Amino acid sequence: MFKKILIANRGEIAVRIIRACREMEIETVAVYSEADRDALHVQLADQAVCIGPAAASESYLNMERLISATAATGAEAIHPGFGFLSENSKFVRMCQKCNIAFIGPSAEVIERMGNKSQARTTMMEAGVPVVPGTKEPVYKWEEGLKLAETIGYPVIVKASSGGGGKGMRVVTASEEFQKNFLSAQIESEKAFGDNTMYIEKYIERPRHIEVQILADQHGNVIQLGERDCSIQRRHQKMIEESPSSAINEEQRKKLGETAVRAAKAAEYENAGTIEFLLDKNGDFYFMEMNTRIQVEHPVTEMVTGLDLIKEQIAIAAGEPLSISQEEVTIQGHAIECRINAENPQKNFMPCPGRIEELYLPGGNGVRIDTALYGGYRIPANYDSMIAKVIVHARDRESAIRKMRSALGEVIVEGIDTNVDFQYEILSHPDYIEGNVTTFFIEENFA
């Protein structure tokens, strides 16, 4: 096992990783920017290294400085968390060259799944259901138009390098195709330096359902059930839960088996997520694979009793998975609400600042993942997510009640948060009934 790990991240996920390391008796090295001198992860780690100015590009995204900090402190591995360099194959290669273990999949797998058009082809060939659409990448709108006619409108044009909604356009009729294809392509060229596109049938009012995967270096691949992440706004998830109320046991079994098949086709290693779209007929289709630990991993931890960060570290150290598929059980229901420093009344404008007063709930089945403390000043340079409230109860209704109770106790003074907005969602009859799609927020809280 590793003796020392460097955590190339900040905020609640850095704290989460430090805690897992401490339980495993692994020493930790935090890195921080000049804006993060007072951050909690710096105080909790065994060692801390300043890696540059506030701008992420000069600190948390600066590969050379991260590698130097790893070498200087004698850490043997880097945990990237999520965001920042977590899905950067160049960084993985750099780690490899420097004899540092990257806690995540190989550079090749990151590239194979990062190219969404290639990922689609890989899945088609493995017999994983994908949305009807193109097999080969599309570069010219004329070529795309012909394919769109055979797929049938509405279609969705997507950038191969995309994700998170960038370089994506819905097209409802032939006359609209050219301009939408070209604007998606130009956006992709600008954002990713890649003009490779693909086209799919547009699934109307879908649900977003994803399956957690663990794969070790010994060929063991297991799935830990699904998460329903349909409650999101502008491609930012807000509430995630497990299991999904939208599928039955038969669909769940098929979904899990499909996810394992997908991970094997990708030759995956470490923790990963297979994302699916679920349509109104109950059919699901592969959408993308995420090659990192995700923000919402705690809901899977709550229903399985596993520690996904510890599993990630053990996998990277060459150990076998701690459990087999047969030993995995899903117990009860878990929900996560992301708490952001933002103002829902002002179009969710970010609201950094000093935490003047802080009280966070606890109690039976309530978990808080955060790096907040009273008096802490939230810097304006990074993501606005400041805490995750996760609850676990015997069933969905009890979990919703527990979440409302927990959110009702939260006190964060000095900044605006989305806590009340989250409470409103949890009180909405359609949410309570499980009658939601990825357009729930837009349709109900506009």
Cβ nearer to ligand MV4, comparing 34 with 279? 279
Cβ nearer to ligand MV4, comparing 81 with 167? 167
Q: How far is the CB of 274 from ligand MV4 (least distance, A)?
A: 13
Q: How far is the CB of 232 from ligand MV4 (least distance, A)?
A: 5
Q: 């130009």: which residue's tokens?
A: 186
The residues of the shown chain that bind ligand MV4, judged by CB under 6 A, are 131, 156, 163, 165, 200-203, 206, 208, 232, 235, 277, 287-288, 438
Cβ nearer to ligand MV4, comparing 202 with 421? 202
Choosing from 227, 292, 338, 396, the catalytic residue is 292
Q: Which helix (H) or strand (E) holds 142?
A: helix 141-151
* Cα distance between residue 397 and residue 180, in whole Å: 42
Q: How many residues does the chain have?
A: 446
* Cα distance between residue 25 and residue 48, in whole Å: 17
Cβ nearer to ligand MV4, comparing 384 with 438? 438
* Cα distance between residue 125 and residue 324, in whole Å: 27
250, exposed or middle or buried, with CB in 10 Å at 0-12, 13-18, 19+? exposed
**3-class DSSP assignment, residue 247:** coil
Reply yes or no on whether 207 is catalytic: no
Q: Which helix (H) or strand (E) holds 292?
A: none
Q: How far is the CB of 214 from ligand MV4 (least distance, A)?
A: 22
Sheet strands (E) in 94-147: 101-102
* Cα distance between residue 393 and residue 242, in whole Å: 11
Cβ nearer to ligand MV4, comparing 202 with 376? 202
Q: How far is the CB of 261 from ligand MV4 (least distance, A)?
A: 20
63's tokens: 């590969």
**3-class DSSP assignment, residue 333:** strand
Q: How far is the CB of 221 from ligand MV4 (least distance, A)?
A: 23
**From the CB of residue 230, how many other CB atoms can be counted at a distance below 10 Å?**
27
243's tokens: 């299991």
Annotated catalytic sites, by residue? 292
